[in-house]
Structure 1
Amino acid sequence: MNLPVFPLAPAALFTPSWQAALELGYARFGDCTRPVQRRHKGPLRVQKHLYAEGPEVCQHIIVHPPGGIAGGDRLDISASVGPGAWAQLTSPGAAKWYRAGGPAYQNLTLEVSPGATLEWLPQETIVFSAAQAELSTRIDLQGDGRLFYWDVVALGRPASGERFDLGHFQSRLDIRRDGQLLWHERQRIVGDDGLLDSAIGLGGDPVFATLLVTGEIDSELLEQCRSLDHAVRGDLTQLPGLVVARCLASEALLARGWLVELWRLLRPALLGREAVPPRIWST
């Protein structure tokens, strides 16, 4: 008996996409910052909160169990830090955006109340060739709320001989204080774009990083930051109420190392606490 043969549908039709959301909230109780909201949907979690620096600073590690982001995935992350509270958010490893036939998305919303502090210190984002990564970040500061933010983006996988020849990476970042725009930035890099090698673009370096921290530093500390001995092409700028640092690097570890050294110098000056690296960065 001959059975009928049906044509196979494209594999992409059977590829599931993840719709994940994570909502975090923090409040100050006496001398302690405590998580007061932790709601998740889909594969986004935080590990148990930690107090490596004492009760004032609540540290959370955001985990995405699938380990990578593929076409059709959407991650929505929000965090709200209440008056006087201090939250430090990081990740256990690199975020990987895989090659895909369609875009994947990450939306990040951060709110910082008066007297509060938020440190957003994730590890690097690796965008594979042929990935379609679209990221949007909105940060709202109220009153004298303080922010320490960074991101590291690696295009392709140079160690594996993979150049960012296909796909695209795009991001949007808005920072406001009391509704007033402090920083607005849009980036879009298309695979094999001339900007990858151009002197007015990435200049052949596949990794770029940005650091933004609220406050102002004196010229001596600014020069000390600029004098760091690191194998990156980076510099700092003092804007009104905002310190901006950028670098280009051949490897993500070099860029992240530079950001950590800046954090060690800037955190005591602008946030009033010595820099204590999260243990997860050493694992």
Structure 2
Amino acid sequence: MTAAAPDTVFTPSWHAELELGYARFGDSTRPVQRRHKGPLRVQKHLYAEGPQVCQHIIVHPPGGIAGGDRLDVSVNVATDAWAQLTSPGAAKWYRAATPAYQQLDVTVAAGATLEWLPQETIVFSAAQAELATRIDLQGNARLFFWDVVALGRPASGERFACGHFQSRLDIRRDGQLLWHERQRIVGGDGLLDSPIGLDGSPVWATLLVTGEIDTELLEQCRSLAGDVRGDLTQLPGLLVARCLASEALLARNWLIALWTLLRPALLGRAAVPPRIWNT
């Protein structure tokens, strides 16, 4: 056996995969694919709203993502099915000497609906977090997607002084690009405090939902921005909401308030918050 060179550094890491698929049977959405590899899985599917909406909670048992880790999640929602995915708590990206990765690939068929409603992502100072999301919508597929990112741990006095966070998000409908976004934030950069950047706010949130709303509902949504600095923009076929906040809970509460208003209008169902959000 050949001995390792003295300067070789072995960094333990996890490569986790999760494949989820949903299909419609009569008036019920059922999981038809659930494959996992490594520490990434879903709990038992739930029907808090009845059989039409299948809810799954994605769990990452290690509780945090370290250097070298990779999470690959794929979701396929078949014709007329409705899946709602959330998480039991914050995703934590730890300080690391090497990057960690997350890839999310989503396909939503015609007539189907996906709600992607995870809790916040906390990026520790000195973390190297790299995330990529690809969403393909077919025909009249519907999407309700949100994301909350918290840099550092303000409650502990930790600023995002070093490391980096970068993300890519592409949403297409029938191959045509609806949304294309790239973000890269480097620890200690002037963008963190600049008025044209995060303006000193350690948390930001994004909501993207397919469809269009009238001016009255748009103004009602805009009036919700109390403890956050947020606004909404109606694009052709896509509603975009953004906010800056001093802590993740405020941003998440704002997203939930928007979801409560927008879900009946755009998805035709009253908002029923998953019980896991209260634990």
Normalised by the shorter chain, which TM-score bucket? over 0.9
How much has 1:277 moved relative to structure 2? 0.2
- Picking from 195, 199, 207, the partner of 2:195 is 199
Any idea what the Cα deviations from partners look like across 1:74-125, whole Å, max 9, x if unmatched? Answer: 0000100000000000000000000000000000001100000000000000
Does residue 59 (structure 1) correspond to residue 55 (structure 2)? The answer is yes
- Give the Cα–Cα distance (whole angstroms) in 1 for the partners of residues 140 and 11 of structure 2: 46
Q: Tell me, yes or no, if the aligned pair for 1:230 and 1:254 is still in contact at 8 Å.
A: no
Output the CA distance in 2 between the equivalents of 1:224 and 1:188.
Answer: 32
Alpha-carbon separation, structure 2, partners of 1:70 and 1:196? 23
Instruction: Normalising by structure 2, report the TM-score.
Output: 0.97
Q: Is the 2:11–2:68 Cα contact (8 Å) retained in structure 1?
A: no
Q: Partners of 1:238 and 1:87 in 2: how far apart? A: 24
Give the Å deviation of 1:16. 1.2
CA contact (8 A) 2:225 2:231 kept: no
SS at match of 1:236: strand
Alignment correspondent of 1:98: 94
Which of residues 248, 273, 278 is equivalent to 1:277? Answer: 273
In the TM superposition, what is the alpha-carbon distance from 1:9 to its structure 2 partner? 6.2
Question: How many pairs align?
Answer: 277
The 5 Å alignment of 1:29-44 reads 29-44=25-40
How many angstroms apart in 2 are the aligned matches of 1:9 and 1:37? 45
On the 8 A contact 2:148/2:248 being kept in 1, the answer is yes
Task: State the match for 1:132 in structure 2.
Answer: 128
Corresponding residue to 1:232 among 228, 231, 244: 228
Structure 1 vs Structure 2 CA RMSD? 1.5
Match of 2:117 among 121, 132, 135: 121
Tell me the secondary structure at the aligned position of residue 266 of structure 1.
Answer: helix
User: CA distance change for structure 1 residues 229 and 239 in 2, over 3 Å: closer, same or farther?
Assistant: closer
Does residue 154 (structure 1) correspond to residue 150 (structure 2)? The answer is yes
Q: CA deviation at 1:14?
A: 4.3
Task: Give me the whole-angstrom Cα distance separating, in 2, the residues matched to 1:137 and 1:230.
Answer: 30
Q: Percent identity?
A: 84
Question: Aligned equivalents of 1:13 and 1:97: distance in 2?
Answer: 21
Q: Larger deviation: 252-261 or 229-238? A: 229-238
Q: Which stretches in structure 2 are left out of the alignment for 5+ residues?
A: none
One-letter amino acid of the counterpart of residue 131, structure 1 = A
Distance change (3 Å), C-alpha of 1:9 and 1:251? farther
| Structure-1 separation of matches of 2:80 and 2:225 | 36
1:159 aligns to what SS in structure 2? Answer: helix
Equivalent position amino acid for 2:169 in 1: L
Matched, 1:216 2:216: no
Aligned with residue 181 of structure 1, among 177, 200, 208:
177
Question: Which aligned runs of 4 or more in structure 1 are off by greater than 2 angstroms?
Answer: 12-15
Out of 108, 128, 137, the residue aligned to residue 141 of structure 1 is 137
Deviation of residue 230 (structure 1)?
2.2
Q: Describe the SS at the equivalent of 1:93.
A: coil
Alignment partners' CA distance in 1, 2:194 and 2:213? 32
How far apart in 2 are the matches of 1:204 and 1:152?
Answer: 16
- Counting only pairs closer than 5 Å after superposition, residues 3-18 of structure 1 correspond to structure 2 as 13-18=9-14
Give the whole-Å Cα distance in 2 for the aligned partners of 1:277 and 1:74: 29
Aligned to 1:5: none
